[in-house]
Structure 1
Amino acid sequence: MTAKDWTGRDAARALRRPTGDDDKYSRGVVGMRTGSARYPGAAVLGVEAAWRSGTGMVRYVGPARAQDLVLARRPETVTADGRVQAWVIGSGTDAAEREAAETAALRGILSGDVPVVADAGALDLVPAASAPVIVTPHARELARLREALGLTGTAASDEGERLRAAAATADALGGVVLSKGAVTIVAAPGGWVRRIETGTPWLATAGTGDVLGGVLGAVVAAAGAVGRTTLEDLAACAATAAWLHGTAGTAAAARLGVSGGPITALDVAEALPRVIAGLLGPQ
């Protein structure tokens, strides 16, 4: 199986430049139910990335410790529940430590009408979802999700096998699969498959997946604000977020020399505005 590469030109078409008629709501509002007492930093990283990706508003709903850290870093974040055009859930959480009330809240989000980006500790709930979903698993998480969906075989490291596994998982799930790796694979039901290879090995560091979730939430919320919520639209959002994330990581590492150098997740988030501005170009 082969897949087309997702390019900067493709990504630019999936983004929307704000106009003089926009306000914070029409630019997209992303809700984030992420982070935990054990991993509060995941909430900070995802919220930071969402803001840096041009969203109109971030609503953060999470543990008190994480909320305090989010507000210390990004005081413009809203911590009251309300209308959103996309949700990001699960980053920085562990299903084994999840309380019943949190499970109920996540199931409520996954049974709604708003697109949901599900990662890490929320992936176990996705097979029962009725909302449009984008899952963002790494290889081990994808293997567990495939098992839960009754799929046989493993998502091997061979690219052809990864493409087939992502496509089959998307069909079984009825949602979009973003399979993380040195080459990221995005698949939607019906055979829509793309590959993204814009990153750097320096991205293999803690927290960069949380940044990706925030970027994706912002891109999906912006698309949702103008009614672009089909599964193919969401797949384009996922591929675009992966392209932005990888390109931002490469840009952050390149500041340290021709061969790049060590970066942190916040470095990636902070590189996003320049990458997006360069992609959209002058008016």
Structure 2
Amino acid sequence: MTAIEQDAARTARILRMPTADDDKYSRGVVGLRTGSADYPGAAVLGVSAAWHAGCGMVRYIGPSRAADMVLARRPETVTAPGRVQAWVIGSGTDAASRSASETEALREVLAGGEPVVVDAGALDLAPDATAPMILTPHAREFARLRETLGLVSTDDREAEVLQTSRELGAVVLLKGAVTLVADPDGGLRRIRSGVPWLATAGTGDVLAGAMGAIVAGVAAVGAATPERLADAAAAAAWLHGRAGALAAARRGSRGGPITALEVAEHLPQAVGETLAAHP
């Protein structure tokens, strides 16, 4: 097993400069089914990140309070059902309090043909899904997922994420100081672009939204194969880390405290610098 170290050049190969022939659909449409009555801010963070990562359209489907907050922050967002090229589900939700109707709606997404970024409160539905998927657990969610799958815990983080990816037939992104992305064919990518200041509430919601936008862009121009999804996931994680580093650097030479929304707001700079350096 030889892991790939994700860098700016590899990230730039996944991104695409819009051309005069593009429209909002060819640049990618991402749908977010995120947020809840308890955590409506997750919807705002994910939607903001999706817009700032460069997709052509964002659709938000969720609770009315969250939808109102999304529109207040990002009025260009579409809150009606319609065409999407990738989904983000689960951010800011809790499986324990999910309604039967919402569970059924999520299962429909996970049985469809569009790629799905599966986060937080939707991870419990992943083992039965058939859609192309990227799972984005943190360490505790990852441990619960492996327990559900009947996999034995070890001290080898890289081997575990590869095993979990193979078992699910899906891309798995394991968050951490070094984020890992595994694909079912045995590919492994390491992402080290982040800074410790990213360890703050809501940054996972930002990562999911940015990833959904990048996946939608990939799906708009070709097949969303596991390898392409893994490349997109690694690119999103690298840009998320870079945006966090840019936000923290504004506080001084050693960085300083940042908020999740600031990370989202620095994504355009991260994308622009990456494309400029690696055209």
Q: Same fold (TM over 0.5)?
A: yes
> Does residue 5 of structure 1 match 2:5?
yes
The answer for the alignment partner of 1:223 in structure 2 is 218
Select which of 157, 166, 172 maps to 2:161. Answer: 166
The answer for the alignment partner of 1:78 in structure 2 is 78
Amino acid at match of 1:205: T
Q: 1:35 is paired with a residue of what secondary structure?
A: coil
TM alignment of 1:143-162, pairs within 5 A: 143-154=143-154, 156=155, 161-162=156-157
- Residue deviations 1:12-59 (CA, integer Å, cap 9, x gap): 001111100000000000000000000000000000000000110000
When the two structures are superposed, what TM-score results if normalisation uses the length of structure 1? 0.97
Q: 2:140 is paired with a residue of what secondary structure?
A: helix
Q: 1:281 is paired with a residue of what secondary structure?
A: helix
Aligned residues: 278
Shift of 1:2: 5.1
Shift of 1:228: 3.5
How many angstroms apart in 2 are the aligned matches of 1:37 and 1:13?
A: 38
Q: 1:19 is paired with a residue of what secondary structure?
A: coil
Select which of 235, 238, 246 maps to 1:243. Answer: 238
Contact kept, 8 Å, 1:3 with 1:163, in 2: the verdict is no
The answer for the alignment partner of 2:175 in structure 1 is 180
The answer for the alignment partner of 1:204 in structure 2 is 199
TM alignment of 1:59-74, pairs within 5 A: 59-74=59-74
Amino acid at match of 1:77: T
Select which of 186, 190, 195 maps to 1:195. Answer: 190
The answer for the alignment partner of 2:35 in structure 1 is 35
How many angstroms apart in 1 are the aligned matches of 2:136 and 2:83?
A: 23
Q: 1:251 is paired with a residue of what secondary structure?
A: helix
Shift of 1:266: 0.6
Shift of 1:4: 2.1
Amino acid at match of 1:196: I
Contact kept, 8 Å, 1:2 with 1:163, in 2: the verdict is no
Select which of 267, 275, 279 maps to 2:274. Answer: 279
How many angstroms apart in 2 are the aligned matches of 1:90 and 1:71?
A: 19
Shift of 1:152: 1.3
How many angstroms apart in 1 are the aligned matches of 2:230 and 2:185?
A: 12
Q: 2:251 is paired with a residue of what secondary structure?
A: coil
The answer for the alignment partner of 1:19 in structure 2 is 19
- Residue deviations 1:90-131 (CA, integer Å, cap 9, x gap): 000000000000000000000000000000100000000000
TM alignment of 1:109-124, pairs within 5 A: 109-124=109-124
How many angstroms apart in 2 are the aligned matches of 1:151 and 1:81?
A: 38
Unmatched segments (≥5 aa) in structure 2: none
Shift of 1:3: 1.6
Amino acid at match of 1:162: R
How many angstroms apart in 1 are the aligned matches of 2:214 and 2:81?
A: 20
Aligned-residue identity in percent: 67
Contact kept, 8 Å, 1:61 with 1:79, in 2: the verdict is yes
How many angstroms apart in 2 are the aligned matches of 1:280 and 1:270?
A: 17
How many angstroms apart in 2 are the aligned matches of 1:32 and 1:150?
A: 30
